[in-house]
Amino acid sequence: MASASTSKYNSHSLENESIKRTSRDGVNRDLTEAVPRLPGETLITDKEVIYICPFNGPIKGRVYITNYRLYLRSLETLSSHWRFEVDTCLFQDSSLILDVPLGVISRIEKMGGATSRGENSYGLDITCKDMRNLRFALKQEGHSRRDMFEILTRYAFPLAHSLPLFAFLNEEKFNVDGWTVYNPVEEYRRQGLPNHHWRITFINKCYELCDTYPALLVVPYRASDDDLRRVATFRSRNRIPVLSWIHPENKTVIVRCSQPLVGMSGKRNKDDEKYLDVIRETNKQISKLTIYDARPSVNAVANKATGGGYESDDAYHNAELFFLDIHNIHVMRESLKKVKDIVYPNVEESHWLSSLESTHWLEHIKLVLTGAIQVADKVSSGKSSVLVHCSDGWDRTAQLTSLAMLMLDSFYRSIEGFEILVQKEWISFGHKFASRIGHGDKNHTDADRSPIFLQFIDCVWQMSKQFPTAFEFNEQFLIIILDHLYSCRFGTFLFNCESARERQKVTERTVSLWSLINSNKEKFKNPFYTKEINRVLYPVASMRHLELWVNYYIRWNPRIKQQQPNPVEQRYMELLALRDEYIKRLEELQLANSAKLSDPPTSPSSPSQMMPHVQTHF
Amino acid sequence: MFSLKPPKPTFRSYLLPPPQTDDKINSEPKIKKLEPVLLPGEIVVNEVNFVRKCIATDTSQYDLWGKLICSNFKISFITDDPMPLQKFHYRNLLLGEHDVPLTCIEQIVTVNDHKRKQKVLGPNQKLKFNPTELIIYCKDFRIVRFRFDESGPESAKKVCLAIAHYSQPTDLQLLFAFEYVGKKYHNSGDTNKINGIPSGDGGGGGGGGNGAGGGSSQKTPLFETYSDWDREIKRTGASGWRVCSINEGYMISTCLPEYIVVPSSLADQDLKIFSHSFVGRRMPLWCWSHSNGSALVRMALIKDVLQQRKIDQRICNAITKSHPQRSDVYKSDLDKTLPNIQEVQAAFVKLKQLCVNEPFEETEEKWLSSLENTRWLEYVRAFLKHSAELVYMLESKHLSVVLQEEEGRDLSCCVASLVQVMLDPYFRTITGFQSLIQKEWVMAGYQFLDRCNHLKRSEKESPLFLLFLDATWQLLEQYPAAFEFSETYLAVLYDSTRISLFGTFLFNSPHQRVKQSTEFAISKNIQLGDEKGLKFPSVWDWSLQFTAKDRTLFHNPFYIGKSTPCIQNGSVKSFKRTKGIPGT
């Protein structure tokens, strides 16, 4: 984990301590160079390089490396033809700008040697986590790339060099505090919990029951804390079944956990069996508990060899088990790699659709969505409580519960609701962000890395495409979340679980991503959003409707990018303003109307309506 | 031992909402007076009661009971049962929810379960068994199924035969539009300027009349008159071009409009002489001019080999002379660069096969590669890409572009329209888009009758117009702020090509409309007066089909008007799979 020294650490650059000035947007701008800087960001070095743009060829520029970002400004102004091709927002004063948080870097390689021939054959090749590569060529004389390589390695992978992640150095201030967005007690209260059947327990207050679970858990009222401890022994990594969501009307629940430790011998555990029965009994409408095992059945069987397994028929009489056929983190990682192969730097044009099909990415999206639809449908229409697990219950399980909750509960489709959903089902329940993303870690081949959260956001995007009025947020909101999933500018996605975050005092020492977003909400709002309370969304999880998220996966390619972001954003703003105006006018009319109604003193039947209008009767 | 329960291969929510617990299946056929809504001139030919309309393929729980009617315009299923599943956001005023216009029918299949017999019904055919089921394959990708288990076997058979007969007419004048418009003329008596279409607030939106754009009050120029062309010249600021009237009365060519725009330097006399050398006597037609003076021109091939060089040279010189900078002409041979109409048709047939006929689960697995194999998107891309290249010639190279095609009536329509949609924001408005279709398709002699195959005998069927709408949809997806109209508008527009009430998409050329309708008028004793042929209702009079409220769905909320820059040059990539297939 990060050695989190709070002391202001010294920059390694020698002469670059130029005067800084805080501009209105809170970003320091270097007076001489105009490199954007965050409070707490320091310039380390700068160097003249050739940026080998995969779309427009080599271009001379100066690269600036800070402890947060790599920033490149081209020295040549581009010909108008180039500017035509390259996305306009990359430009300032007709020079090309690259602005890449170092957290995005997964691998830095040297290309060519001191003696390699050919133009621009000597330099660095940087692989990024966000579907792109950056290549810089340097002069061959005097090992000119050595210090750039070393500095980049140092600051892109601070954990390997006993340096803190940038989030711990970031001194940004926002007028809202994103850390207060999620309060578990409040969220459970919103769901109507605790109630007769479900209670809040603090058994995990010091993370003793389960070190990857949150401190606060909701469990059946009839299960004692001792019961919970006994069940924990039979669940992988002690991740016992706990409540994620309760249906406001039929009171059926979504419960999440890890696999039971059945093993080769087919072990049973009376406490676990009883505990599941207690969960089942909280719902009187259906005599069975439905268990969704996210894995393909073959994998579930194979897990027995390592001590895991699934709930057998014999042991769990009152449960029905279904496998959802979702593959593991390794399959997903390889699939995304294939997506990158066909979109970066060049889009595979001649057989685009069959190439896309062969990556299986959309097929995986389909399976995840189909699984979540089944969970949501079971709870909503089937009136059955549902238990969801995979192996450890922190990857596929998080995908399924959070997507099902998004389908069932319109609250999570608002900006703050979605933040709460992510904070709850992903961050607090121990999706291993640190391992899956590899924040500040140089081991790019780590088998623990996998785009599980990205896949979830993709599913959300697919839903927002199919229900354009159901979500308060727009595509930019999802993209900014993904950008800061890697950037290490905020503490939100750092570390693997709540206990680790607490040890590192993340909420005190870092800024939350939600602070940035919530202080500038308008930018992330969908103008077509219409609030609906009780509508369950069932997306169509068919290949006929799923699409590749071009605006994310192929956004670096200027020829593929949505070609007119600006007019659409402008129109968004216009529509939002228009909507606000209508809402205001509606309120005024309602007010006028209620004033009319309440004007004759003989209508005291609606006191609440009179409230906004102060009457002065004598 | 525990037995593994494999996951269900499919999940029903792909298609259907969760099953309702309280089944409201009407097991008893209702006996009720169910009356069809008929248009002027529409008559019921045959009908049968106690028909069950099948809704879902795997269950009968959503089926509806009612009466099946065949008229000379449509087949109509009349029921009191509410539509159980999908509801549309808009309703066509001419058609009920379950109606199919006869011109929309592709194939009629009758089935007898008990005898295990099945027959595709052509016109004037005999049926040796009593059908228990009727399956109608529609051109708009619908499949409609009726069961006759409870109906009188003879009347069921009669209805099937009637549908087969009336949906496959032997003559153009048997299409319903003639009956309808004839009735209008008779009803209106002396007041021949109004066709008395009841629901239309635009009044006589005739083939040559004033059709209002959806929701917009602007008139759509139809390019039937001298002044429409003249205005277009002025609108585009084209200098060096003039309206030429030598084809008045279709004296030169029967597949050109009466008025065409030509280089000012070419005299009428020269054009008359040149015209003989062109296929179909189709002289060069001006389409549009860029503000930099570059013109877009379309023309047929010169068949006269001896004259070819000379005429070609003369025309190119004239076009160059009309360019303010005297720029050269860039010639694009569309027959060599684009798929031909047979290939487009073959791709469309495969696409339809994939979307409609093949089992859902089988196609689901290999959906993307199957879609690719139809080549439909590849062809859409080819048209867009080529058009974008021509845009580059016109806009950046300042060259005038001449589209060459054997007859100049198919690929040229599509390419000329796409180039203009890309370059001129006016054509991205509803009125502008409609005027573009008038200019480059209807008046330029796109053979709607043959290509849409309204008479179902044509070997020349090809969905080029649909391909154009699809390409426009692709542009709309890529430039959501640049278009005034929506996806709904495009879908509804395509559906309208299947309603044989409007004159717009009924004929192979404007001349054919005049000729056929004059013959019809004489045979029905209709006085035409000064009019050139009957005034059929125009598709652009959208009030005939949709209420003002429904027409608001034609508008794209993202549209930001004329401030949008032109669609840039550059290869058009990143294709969406075609989802919004027109029709239901």
Substitution target in B2, B378, B564 with the highest count of A β-carbons within 10 Å is: B2
B347 contacts chain A (CB < 8 A): no
B439, B535: one domain: yes
Residues pairing with A260 in the sheet: A235
End position of a domain, from candidates B127, B145, B168? B168
Contacts of A521 (CB under 8 A, 6+ apart): A415
Give B564's contacts in chain A (Cβ within 8 Å): 564, 567
Asked if the model's pLDDT at residue B368 lies above 90, the reply is: yes
Q: Residue A173 corresponds to which amino acid?
A: K
Whether omega before A345 lies within 30 degrees of 0, making that bond cis, reads yes
Handedness of CA A328, A332, A333, A338 (dihedral sign): positive
B129, B254: one domain: no
B89 contacts chain A (CB < 8 A): no
* Cα A470 from chain centroid (whole Å): 19
Rg (CA), chain B: 26
Nearest CA-CA distance, residue A20 and chain B, Å:
39
C-beta of residue A467 within 8 angstroms of C-beta of residue A406? no
B140, B285: one domain: no
B70 found inside a domain: yes
* Cα A317 from chain centroid (whole Å): 38
Q: How far apart are CA A256 and CA B379, in angstroms?
A: 49
Interface subset of A 514-553, CB within 8 angstroms of B: 527-528, 538, 540-545, 547, 550
Give B571's contacts in chain A (Cβ within 8 Å): 559
Asked if the model's pLDDT at residue B518 lies above 90, the reply is: yes
Q: How far apart are CA B21 and CA A285, in angstroms?
A: 14
Closest CA to A426 of A246, A244, A251: A244
B421, B522: one domain: yes
- H-helix or E-strand spanning residue B44: strand B44-54
Question: What would the mean pLDDT of A368-378 be, rounded to a whole number?
Answer: 98
Phi, psi torsion values for A179, nearest 5 degrees: -70, -20
Give A545's contacts in chain B (Cβ within 8 Å): 579
Give A301's contacts in chain B (Cβ within 8 Å): 4
Give the CATH number, domain containing residue B99. 2.30.29.30
* Cα A400 from chain centroid (whole Å): 14
C-beta of residue B17 within 8 angstroms of C-beta of residue A380? no
Q: How far apart are CA B97 and CA B532, in angstroms?
A: 36
Tokens of A130: 């966000």
Residue identified by tokens 């037995």 is B3
B59, B140: one domain: yes
B449 found inside a domain: yes
Residue of B nearest to A320 (CA): B5
End position of a domain, from candidates B137, B168, B199? B168
B570 found inside a domain: no
A56 contacts chain B (CB < 8 A): no
Among the ranges given (B31-35, B303-307, B564-568), the one the predictor scored with the smallest mean pLDDT: B564-568
Residue A118 confidence class, pLDDT cut points 50, 70, 90: confident
B161, B232: one domain: no
Give A567's contacts in chain B (Cβ within 8 Å): 481-482, 560, 563-564
End position of a domain, from candidates B134, B149, B168? B168
Q: DSSP letter at B256?
A: S
Q: How far apart are CA B458 and CA B410, in angstroms?
A: 16
Q: Verify whether the Cβ–Cβ distance B560 to A567 is below 8 Å.
A: yes
Tell me if A373 is assigned to a ligand binding site. no
Residue of A nearest to B556 (CA): A571
Q: How far apart are CA B62 and CA B77, in angstroms?
A: 15
Residue A585, burial from CB neighbour count under 10 angstroms (0-12, 13-18, 19+): exposed
Q: Residue A265 corresponds to which amino acid?
A: S
Q: How many CB atoms lie within 10 A of CB A143?
A: 12
Tokens of B495: 């559906």
> What's the domain count of chain B?
2
pLDDT at res. B201: 34
Handedness of CA B437, B439, B444, B445 (dihedral sign): positive
Q: How far apart are CA A470 and CA A463, in angstroms?
A: 9
Instruction: List, for residues B346-358, the tens digit of each pLDDT value.
Output: 999 999 999 988 8
Nearest CA-CA distance, residue A338 and chain B, Å:
16
The DSSP result for B476-524, as a single string, is HHH-TTS-SB-HHHHHHHHHHTT-TT-STTT-SSHHHHHHHHHHHHHHT
Residue B532 confidence class, pLDDT cut points 50, 70, 90: confident
B577 contacts chain A (CB < 8 A): yes
Question: What would the mean pLDDT of B219-233 be, rounded to a whole number?
Answer: 96
Asked if the model's pLDDT at residue A497 lies above 50, the reply is: yes
B557 contacts chain A (CB < 8 A): yes
**A15 three-class SS:** coil
pLDDT at res. B210: 39
Whether omega before B263 lies within 30 degrees of 0, making that bond cis, reads no
pLDDT at res. B562: 56
Tell me if A394 is assigned to a ligand binding site. yes
Q: Verify whether the Cβ–Cβ distance A542 to B14 is below 8 Å.
A: yes
A80 contacts chain B (CB < 8 A): no
Q: Residue A343 corresponds to which amino acid?
A: V
C-beta of residue B156 within 8 angstroms of C-beta of residue B163? no
Q: List the domain range (segments joined by +) for residue B463.
A: 226-554
Residue B576, burial from CB neighbour count under 10 angstroms (0-12, 13-18, 19+): middle
Q: How many CB atoms lie within 10 A of CB B261?
A: 24
Asked if the model's pLDDT at residue A113 lies above 80, the reply is: yes
- Mean pLDDT for chain A overall: 88
Interface subset of A 452-471, CB within 8 angstroms of B: none
Q: Verify whether the Cβ–Cβ distance A563 to B568 is below 8 Å.
A: yes
User: Biggest alpha carbon distance in chain B?
Assistant: 96
| Long-range contact set of residues B53-60: C-beta below 8 Å, sequence gap at least 24 | B53/B77, B53/B79, B53/B98, B53/B144, B53/B145, B53/B146, B53/B147, B54/B145, B54/B146, B54/B147, B55/B84, B55/B85, B56/B15, B56/B16, B56/B85, B60/B25
pLDDT at res. B298: 97
Phi, psi torsion values for B149, nearest 5 degrees: -55, -35
pLDDT at res. B291: 95
Contacts of B512 (CB under 8 A, 6+ apart): B254, B449
Nearest CA-CA distance, residue B367 and chain A, Å:
6
Instruction: List, for residues B6-48, the tens digit of each pLDDT value.
Output: 443 333 334 444 444 444 444 455 555 678 899 999 999 999 9
The DSSP result for A59-127, as a single string, is EEEEEEEESSEEEEEESSPPPHHHHHHS-GGGEETTEEEEEEEGGGEEEEEEES-TT--STT-SEEEEE
pLDDT at res. A565: 56
Q: How far apart are CA A268 and CA A316, in angstroms?
A: 10
Q: Residue B506 corresponds to which amino acid?
A: L
- Length of chain A equals 618
Nearest CA-CA distance, residue B386 and chain A, Å:
16
Instruction: List, for residues A378-437, the tens digit of each pLDDT value.
Output: 999 999 999 999 999 999 999 999 999 999 999 999 999 999 999 999 999 999 999 999
B262, B156: one domain: no
B6 contacts chain A (CB < 8 A): yes
Tokens of A222: 């009839």
Contacts of A23 (CB under 8 A, 6+ apart): A29
Q: In this predicted model, which residue has the larger pLDDT, A311 or B532?
A: A311
Closest CA to B178 of B534, B541, B529, B543: B534
B2 contacts chain A (CB < 8 A): yes
**β-strand B285-289 against B329-333: which pairing, if any?**
unpaired
Q: How many CB atoms lie within 10 A of CB B189?
A: 9
Tokens of A86: 């390259």
C-beta of residue B295 within 8 angstroms of C-beta of residue B288? yes
Tell me if A113 is assigned to a ligand binding site. no
Asked if the model's pLDDT at residue B147 lies above 70, the reply is: yes
Instruction: List, for residues A134-175, the tens digit of each pLDDT value.
Output: 999 998 887 789 999 999 999 999 999 999 999 999 999 999
Q: How many CB atoms lie within 10 A of CB A236?
A: 20
Contacts of B15 (CB under 8 A, 6+ apart): B56, B360
Among the ranges given (A44-53, B142-151, B187-196), the one the predictor scored with the smallest mean pLDDT: B187-196
Q: Verify whether the Cβ–Cβ distance A354 to B369 is below 8 Å.
A: yes
Interface subset of A 329-388, CB within 8 angstroms of B: 347, 349, 351-354, 356-357, 362, 370, 373-374, 377, 380-382
Tokens of B80: 């009191």
Instruction: List, for residues B55-97, the tens digit of each pLDDT value.
Output: 888 888 889 999 999 999 999 999 887 766 556 678 899 998 8
Residue of A nearest to B481 (CA): A568
| Integer angstrom CA distances of residue A476 from A285, A480, B550 | 42, 6, 31
B22 contacts chain A (CB < 8 A): no
* Cα B433 from chain centroid (whole Å): 14
- Mean pLDDT for chain B overall: 86
Q: Where are the alpha helices (DSSP H) in A175-310?
A: 184-190, 225-232, 270-281, 297-302
Substitution target in B10, B12, B13 with the highest count of A β-carbons within 10 Å is: B13
| Integer angstrom CA distances of residue B576 from A475, A524, B95 | 17, 24, 31
B137 found inside a domain: yes
Q: In this predicted model, which residue has the larger pLDDT, A205 or A575?
A: A205
Question: What would the mean pLDDT of A54-76 be, rounded to a whole number?
Answer: 92
Residue A72 confidence class, pLDDT cut points 50, 70, 90: very high
Q: How far apart are CA A375 and CA A541, in angstroms?
A: 14
Question: What would the mean pLDDT of A62-84 be, rounded to a whole number?
Answer: 79
Nearest CA-CA distance, residue B476 and chain A, Å:
11
Tell me if B340 is assigned to a ligand binding site. yes
B375 found inside a domain: yes
ipTM above 0.90, yes or no: no
pLDDT at res. B213: 40
Q: Which of A324, A347, A373 sits opposite B13 (nearest CB)?
A: A373
B198 found inside a domain: no
Tell me if A393 is assigned to a ligand binding site. yes
Give B562's contacts in chain A (Cβ within 8 Å): none
Give B368's contacts in chain A (Cβ within 8 Å): 353-354, 356-357, 362, 543
Instruction: List, for residues A10-56, the tens digit of each pLDDT value.
Output: 333 333 333 333 334 444 444 455 789 999 999 999 999 999 999 88
A562 contacts chain B (CB < 8 A): yes
pLDDT at res. B189: 56
Tokens of A595: 């004033």
Catalytic residues of A: 390
Q: Verify whether the Cβ–Cβ distance B369 to A314 is below 8 Å.
A: no
B403, B517: one domain: yes
B126 found inside a domain: yes
Rg (CA), chain A: 27
Residue of B nearest to A358 (CA): B369
Of all residues in chain A, what percent carry a pLDDT higher than 90?
75
Asked if the model's pLDDT at residue B548 lies above 80, the reply is: yes
C-beta of residue A506 within 8 angstroms of C-beta of residue A488? no
Substitution target in A273, A322, A353, A377 with the highest count of B β-carbons within 10 Å is: A353
pLDDT at res. A115: 79
Nearest CA-CA distance, residue B235 and chain A, Å:
25
Q: Verify whether the Cβ–Cβ distance A547 to B367 is below 8 Å.
A: no
Q: How far apart are CA B558 and CA B476, in angstroms?
A: 10
B117, B234: one domain: no
B425, B534: one domain: yes
Q: How far apart are CA B4 and CA B341, in angstroms?
A: 53
Q: How far apart are CA B29 and CA B112, in angstroms?
A: 21
B358, B241: one domain: yes
Closest CA to B449 of B133, B110, B189, B177: B177
State pTM to two decimals. 0.87
- Secondary structure E strands in B98-229: 100-101, 105-112, 117-120, 133-138, 143-147
Instruction: List, for residues A577-611, the tens digit of each pLDDT value.
Output: 888 888 899 999 988 888 776 655 444 443 333 33
Whether omega before A527 lies within 30 degrees of 0, making that bond cis, reads no
Question: What would the mean pLDDT of B264-276 be, rounded to a whole number?
Answer: 95
Residue of A nearest to B370 (CA): A354
B479 contacts chain A (CB < 8 A): yes
B183 found inside a domain: no
pLDDT at res. A607: 38
Tokens of B563: 């401030």
B146, B231: one domain: no
Substitution target in A348, A544, A546 with the highest count of B β-carbons within 10 Å is: A544
